[in-house]
Structures are given as C-alpha cells and as structure tokens.
Structure 1
Amino acid sequence: MGGPPDQEAGLGVGAVAQRLGVAASTLRTWDRRYGIGPSRRSSGSHRRYAPADVARLEIMQRLILEGAPPGEAARVALEAPPAGSPAPRAHGAGGNRIPVGEQPGTARSTEVRGLARAAMALDAPAMARAVRSALERDGVVRAWDGLFVPVLDGIGRKHAATGDCVDVEHLLSGVLLECLAEVPPPASPLNTRPVLLACAPEEQHSLPVYALAAALSEAGVAVRLLGARVPPRALASAIRRSGPCAVFVWSQIAETGDPGWLDDLPRARPAVRLVIGGPGWAGDRLPEAVRVVASLPEAVAELESASGSS
C-alpha cells in the first residue's frame, strides 16, 4: 500500500524478535530445527516474516509457555488454520506465569503453583517458607522430584521460549541451596569412609549435587561436598586425602561431559565406587568401571549401598 518494498515484503528477524519478546537467535533456532521461519524475501533477497509467519510464531510461543515441548508446539502452529480463524490455545497461559505442567486440583499442584508464583515475584521469604515446609514434611527426595524440579523445569521452558527468567532461576537456586544446606549431617553415619561429591571440571550447575548431599545426609550417609568446577587434579587429591568409599561426579551440559579424565583418578584401596550422573556425559565413551545413575533416588540408593559396605 505504498510502503517501502522491504516493509511490504515482511518483517526482519530483529523486528519479529522484539515483537514476541524473544531473542533473535531463538527465532533462528526454531527456523532451523522446526521449519517455522520466514516465507518471504525482500528485494535484496533477505528473508522476511509475513503476517502469517508471525501468527504461527505467536501460537508456538503461547503453547511453549503453557508447557508444550517446542517440537510439538511448532507442529501445531504449522498446522494452524489460516489467519482469521480461531488460533489453537492451551488453557492457563500467562506472560507472568511459569508453565509447571502439574495436574490441576491436587494438593501438590497447588504447592507447585505457589512456589512458582513466589519465584516469579522474586519473593525470597515466601520461596524459603515453601521449600522448608516441603523438606520437613516430605524429605529431600520427594520434595526435589515433586516440587523443586517441576518449578525449575518450568522456569527453563519459559527461558527457552522468551529468553527471560534468568533472575528468577538464580534467586530460586540460591534459596534452594540455602535450605538444602540446613539439612544436618548424620550424628551416627552409616559409613566410616565418606562419599565425595563433585561437579565435573568447569561444570557450574551444582544445585543437583547439593540436593544429593542433603538427601544422603538425611539417609545417614556422611559426605564431603566439593561443589562446582572441580579440576581432575583436585578431585584426585581429595580421594587420596579422604579415602572415600564412593565418588560421585555431576555433568549438566555436553561441554563438561568428556569422561576421558575419569580413568586417571587414583585407584585407592579399598576400592572406590565411581558414580556419575547428569545429562552432559558422553555415554558412548564411559570407562567400564563407572556406574551411571539417572535420578536422585537412584543416586541415593547407589551411594547408600557403597556406604553400607565401607
């Protein structure tokens, strides 16, 4: 209608990113992975988003915020009716909500939503009250799997969809770390030789290790928590100094999951059980002696078993 040719061709990635409130890199990832991208080209052959393309992206973003996996959200958006028809929409979406994916009407769902609301409000005292109440009532493992993980996963999905909530995740993680650290060590531990807990070299996601330390303490297992970004040399030194019955190493991301250095850890006597967890490890290159656990209950059971034989 008389506008500049590029404007008539559609919107660039930066303009669409600003409109949706997401990073331009997120739009490029959605285009590359799911085929939900610009369908027009400007006079200079730059790819441009038509109104229908933007409408599909808005549908996809809404569905992700409501808890749908990105691939499924993209499929629904690509199959959406033409502009002017009612758009697919999940119930309960909100720009200031965390998609926690809990079944409505249950006591646990109410608790999860309450912690999510406190997190979005950056209300640290309310978060701490909810976390301490769950730990006291349910214990570490049940509180972790039933309350903390759903909220953390929801924050992660919201961040993936919008690029937002870094502050929310950091504050909630800090509250969780503080509350988990309050779980007292056992007065009469099962093990005479401690369990060492550490993150892989350069791995900064230490919250799961703190949760494991608290769960083991609750189970009567004495631990030594080394925390984030533990170099192989430091872990080897700790093994020699403390003579542990077991060593657990966590890797959250692929960049920290190269297991090549695990074979170089000291072969102490009596033997040390080496256990690893986390989605970062390269599973096709693990040493034969390593035991892999896939959940907090499994990690607790494996390390409790090692402690009983120490």
Structure 2
Amino acid sequence: MGEPTAREAGLGVGAVARRLGVAASTLRTWDRRYGIGPSGRSPGGHRRYTPADLARLEVMRRLILAGAPPGEAARTALGVPPGEPAPPRAHGAGGHRLPLTGTGAPAERDGERTARVRGLARAVMAMDEGAMSAAVRSALRRDGVVRAWDGLLVPVLVGIGRKHAATGGCVEMEHLLSEVVLRCLAEVPARRPPDGRAALLACAPDEQHSLPVHALAAALAEAGAPAVALGARVPAGALYAAIDRVGPHAVFVWSQTGATGDPAWLADLPRTRPPLRALAGGPGWARPRLPRTVGFVTTLAEAVAELTATSH
C-alpha cells in the first residue's frame, strides 16, 4: 500500500505517542525544534502522521536511546528514506551504556565544548579526582544540571563505555567518575520548593545504576520541584510502601539493563487521589509491555518538564 495523500487521515499526536511510547509533549518538541513532525492532513485539515513519518520517528527514538543527541538523531532520521530499516541500536557493555540523554549541549562554540569534554576525559583517564571534581562543579555552576549533563557528563560517560566495550577495562574510572558526579550533584543548591507533593524517584528492583536518578533529583531541586530519591535496587514492595508514606504526585522508575526491565509490576502501583503520574525511563525497559498508565521519557529535560508540570 502507498503512503497516504495529503488529504487522507493519518494518526494524531496522541495515537503516535502511545504507539512509540513517548510523551505527546516530546513529539511536539521534536516537531518544533527539529522539523520531524506530521506531513499529512486529515479531511478537516488537521496535521496527521503518515507511515513514513512514523518510520522516521522510530529511527529518531532508537538513536536517542542509543546515545545520540536529539538534534543529531533528527538529522539522521530525516535522511532515512521511507521503508528503509532503522540503523542498528548501539550498545556498550553492561552498565556502561548511555545513562540518559538530554536536549542538547549548552549554547557555546563547539571548540569550547570539545575542550571541556576532553579536559574532563583526561582527568578521568589519569584518575585525578581533584581535577574531575573541579570540572564537574564548574559545569554545574555555569550551565545548570541538565546542560552540564548533556554537554559534558554524558559525552565522557559514553566515551568510557566505548573504551570498556573495546578493551574490557576502565571500570575503575567509571566508578570514580560516578562517585565524583554524585558528590557534585548533591552540592547543587535547591531553590525554595513550592507548596505541593514531591516526586518519588527510584531504580527498578535489582537495578544498581542509579546515577541518572540522582541527576534527575538534582535537576528537580534546581528547578524548585520537591523530590525524594530512593536510589538503586528498590524492591517493588518498598516502592509501593514509599508511595503510601510519601503521597507523591508522581513516581519515576529507572531501568538501565534488560535484566531489570520487566515492567509487569508497574501495573500494581498503589492508586492514589488525585491519581499518581507514573513515568519510566532508561534503555532497559521492555517498552512494548509497559502498562498503558505508565508514560515513558527519553531525556533528562523531558523528565524534569513532566515532573514539574504535575507537581501542583
């Protein structure tokens, strides 16, 4: 069957969001920022996604989950002819895959950004804890959590993951950098939180890679949104109990590896009044099996936006 004509009805943003497992707000952002949006029209003149649009969006989603910045993923996706398969998803080794991408690096010259990434990478390779701490603190002060994560920390973490995949080494470097980043994130000053319930942040049961959860907690604190971070390896029963005790407005659960990504237990999250907003993030989740009541976010900035929007 051919592509729909401009006057044939396609899919609206809500249907596409459900099909791809991303938030509708994310699709609108991709359309606005990167020009990867609906190209069809309904009989009533409303914009609709065609099968070719869906194929491009799937390419973009896979590339982002593999570690590409959204802008780069969009450029690649827009260059993929309709009907061609998506590029293969890149993998690192074990827990060294990309932790969590964001919306792009800080607005600065490429040379400056590259120099900062290389400077931190050299400090990591030398296991110079003092230089690493100084570089991370400087980026957090200068750019804020989301931009520092996107523009500095993620590129270096990805680089370490690639070295590990190629050599089997660098584990000690990744551990030291993670400890430095955790300490620096804990130092991020929090704005006075608004009145309202907190968001509850946790890793899936047996998931030990908690750095993205702590980055999200720091970004929310910076935005003045209350949050409670439970960290790594939170059993389902413990998360249920925390929901009952904290009474959060939302819960975010991270899965880094496929071994921790069975989402069946998310269907049993306690029901609250008003209803709890449930979000999942991370490359480990078996996304086609996520309950319909659980949204999925692919970027740090998107997670912050979703959780701050529902905090009142």
Q: What TM-score range do you get, normalising by the shorter chain?
A: 0.5 to 0.7
How far is the alpha carbon of 1:184 from its aligned partner?
2.9
Name the % identity. 66
Q: TM-score, normalised by structure 1?
A: 0.65
In the other structure, the counterpart of 2:256 is 252
**Counterpart for residue 175 of structure 2:** 170
Unaligned runs of 5+ in 2: 1-104
Q: How many residues are matched?
A: 206
> Which of the residues 219, 224, 234 maps onto 1:220?
224
Q: Which has the higher contact order (CA 8 A, sep 6+)?
A: 2
Q: 1:105 to 1:217 in 2, by over 3 A?
A: closer
Return structure 1 stretches of 4+ with deviation > 4 angstroms: none
1:160 equivalent among 155, 165, 168: 165
Q: 1:154 to 1:191 in 2, by over 3 A?
A: farther
Matched, 1:119 2:124: yes
CA deviations over 1:167-207 (Å, ceiling 9, x no partner): 100000000000001113332x1341110000000000000
Mark the CA change 1:191 to 1:283 in structure 2 (over 3 Å): closer, same or farther. Answer: farther
Alignment match of 1:134 (pick from 139, 155, 159):
139
Q: State how far apart, in whole Å, the 2-side matches of 1:208 and 1:297 are.
A: 12
Encode CA deviations 1:255-290: one digit per residue, 9 max, x unaligned: 000000001110011111001100000011010111
Q: 1:172 and 1:224 mapped to 2: Cα distance? A: 23
Amino acid at match of 1:225: A
Of 106, 126, 142, the match for 2:111: 106
- When residues 165 and 271 of structure 1 are mapped into structure 2, their CA distance, relative to the original with a 3 A threshold, is same
Q: Distance in 2 between matches of 1:183 and 1:198?
A: 19
Gap change, CA 1:231 and 1:106, over 3 Å in 2: same
CA–CA separation in structure 1 for the residues paired with 2:190 and 2:197: 14
Counterparts of 1:181 and 1:250 in 2: how far apart (Å)? Answer: 19
SS in structure 2 opposite 1:106?
helix
- Aligned AA for 1:115? L
CA 274–132 in structure 1, closer or farther in 2 if over 3 Å, else same: same
Contact 2:190 2:223 in 1 (8 A): no
Shift of 1:105: 6.3
| Change in CA separation of 1:282 and 1:128 when aligned onto 2, cut-off 3 Å | same
- 1:225-248, CA deviations, whole angstroms, 9 ceiling, x for partnerless residues? 100000011000010001100000
Q: Which protein is bigger by CA-based radius of gyration?
A: 1
SS of structure 2 residue aligned to 1:122: coil
SS at match of 2:138: helix
